[in-house]
Structure 1
Amino acid sequence: MSTTDRRTALADAAIDLIATRGIRALTHRALDTALDLPAGSASYYFRTKRALIEAITDRITTRSRDDFTAAQLTLSIPTDPYGIAHAIASWLDRLLAERRNHLIVRHALIIELIGDPELHHRLTHSLFSIERARDLFRALNFPDPDVAAADFIAVVEGAVFDRFAGARTHVPAGTPGSVDQLATLLSRYLAQPRSL
């Protein structure tokens, strides 16, 4: 296994460990055990816990960008608010179905790292693109696309949190009902008046 592959495997194992056992369970020794590696292997690749958390952040960010690209979610999606909301909701539903552990760990670390401005910023920007949201609201002729984009990211963040850890955890991801619930919520924001 290459160094890059081993580092990725360790980051993935760290994500699963935090998601199932909590942030306090994240130790180099626990990772060695989880991957059945010789003692000291995890610390060889990541000397400090912060280095390990940086690797987790990078892994979540890279996977998010790759998934977004693979989804081909671009401005060529329909121009009606519900069509746009449905396309975004389909992508979010896949995120909830396939990357639940990433969502849990990202939120746990965002709270844990409030006092670390650099890593906190990287985590808060690791899942959703403010630039792409701004492009969307420019295309929709919202009067202030910067504010609209930031507000929409807040809505999306809240909707995703609600589904994996909030009041709507009972809605199963990967179902038409899941996509419809998200699309209905998002379309309300996208249909807001475009001028004052």
Structure 2
Amino acid sequence: MMSTTDRRTLIVEAAIDLIATQGLRAMTHRALDTALALPAGSASYYFRSKRALVEAIVDRITARSRTDFAAAQLAPTGPPEPEAIARGIAAWLDRLLAERRNQLIARHALILDLLSDADMHARLANSLFSATRARDLFHALGVADPDGTAADFIALLEGAVFDRFAGARAHLAPGTEDSRRRLTVALATFFRGALP
């Protein structure tokens, strides 16, 4: 028998998939019950409102992002070499695009939908990349303005992610050498311009 936590996780993952494949409006309690072949009313039993479900989605994306970012160990271990740093971050970003595509799409859809909800919007907007870790990276690299450079870097990452699932390079499959190379070029250009 499935535990309550497992059932809630299953519903949240199905909600993320529905948003990513059919759009935000498709995410209803009834659609989740249908998608998961659950008895009618099951999704609403676990998440009484749409807001409760959205909060659970935000929590899920945020928790997974923190885990992924911590596991990536992106800080340089030696002298700052823009190409090496860019390759490491590009490989990590490529993995995100391959393994978490639906989460990335759902996150962007929700960011737009939650513009008027300052708390939820901020949580989601800051859920994918760590501003603190980015600032620490640029501080370690001796950048004069680590805060501003970190914000610019995160903007570049956000744009690269969006471009890869909904922009001009959506056709470029993650998990390929070409995908990692294209990401590396953009990131290396940024690092060369940012480093002293």
TM-score category (smaller protein): over 0.9
- Greater displacement, 38-47 / 65-74: 65-74
1:169 to partner: Cα distance: 1.1
- Tell me the TM-score normalized by structure 2: 0.95
CA distance in 2, matches of 1:108, 1:16: 12
Residue 165 of structure 2 aligns to which amino acid in structure 1?
F
* Distance verdict in 2 for CA 1:194–1:87, change over 3 Å: closer
Q: Summarize deviations over 1:120-151 as a string: whole Å, max 9, x none.
A: 00110110000000000001111010000001
CA distance in 1, matches of 2:123, 2:140: 27
Task: Judge conservation of contact 2:28–2:50 (CA < 8 Å) in 1.
Answer: yes
CA distance in 1, matches of 2:147, 2:42: 45
* Aligned residues with identical type, % of pairs: 65
* Distance verdict in 2 for CA 1:170–1:37, change over 3 Å: same
Aligned residues, how many? 195
1:58 to partner: Cα distance: 0.7
Task: Judge conservation of contact 2:32–2:43 (CA < 8 Å) in 1.
Answer: yes
Name the structure 2 match of 1:32: 33
CA distance in 2, matches of 1:55, 1:76: 36
Task: Judge conservation of contact 1:78–1:84 (CA < 8 Å) in 2.
Answer: no
1:63 to partner: Cα distance: 1.2
- Tell me the TM-score normalized by structure 1: 0.95
- Which runs of 5 or more residues in structure 2 are unaligned? none
CA distance in 2, matches of 1:89, 1:77: 18
1:194 to partner: Cα distance: 4.3
| SS across alignment from 2:74 | coil
Task: Judge conservation of contact 2:94–2:180 (CA < 8 Å) in 1.
Answer: yes
- Greater displacement, 73-82 / 128-137: 73-82
Name the structure 2 match of 1:94: 95
CA distance in 1, matches of 2:76, 2:55: 31
Name the structure 2 match of 1:48: 49
Name the structure 2 match of 1:138: 139
1:78 to partner: Cα distance: 6.4
CA distance in 1, matches of 2:8, 2:75: 31
| SS across alignment from 1:181 | helix
1:67 to partner: Cα distance: 1.8
Residue 48 of structure 1 aligns to which amino acid in structure 2?
S
* Distance verdict in 2 for CA 1:122–1:112, change over 3 Å: same
Q: Summarize deviations over 1:55-106 as a string: whole Å, max 9, x none.
A: 1111111111122233333343762011101100000000111111111100
Name the structure 2 match of 1:71: 72
Task: Judge conservation of contact 1:77–1:83 (CA < 8 Å) in 2.
Answer: no
Residue 14 of structure 2 aligns to which amino acid in structure 1?
A
CA distance in 2, matches of 1:30, 1:5: 19
CA distance in 2, matches of 1:119, 1:75: 32
Name the structure 2 match of 1:111: 112
Q: Summarize deviations over 1:11-62 as a string: whole Å, max 9, x none.
A: 0000001111111111111111111111111111111100100111111111
Task: Judge conservation of contact 2:131–2:150 (CA < 8 Å) in 1.
Answer: yes
* Distance verdict in 2 for CA 1:13–1:156, change over 3 Å: same
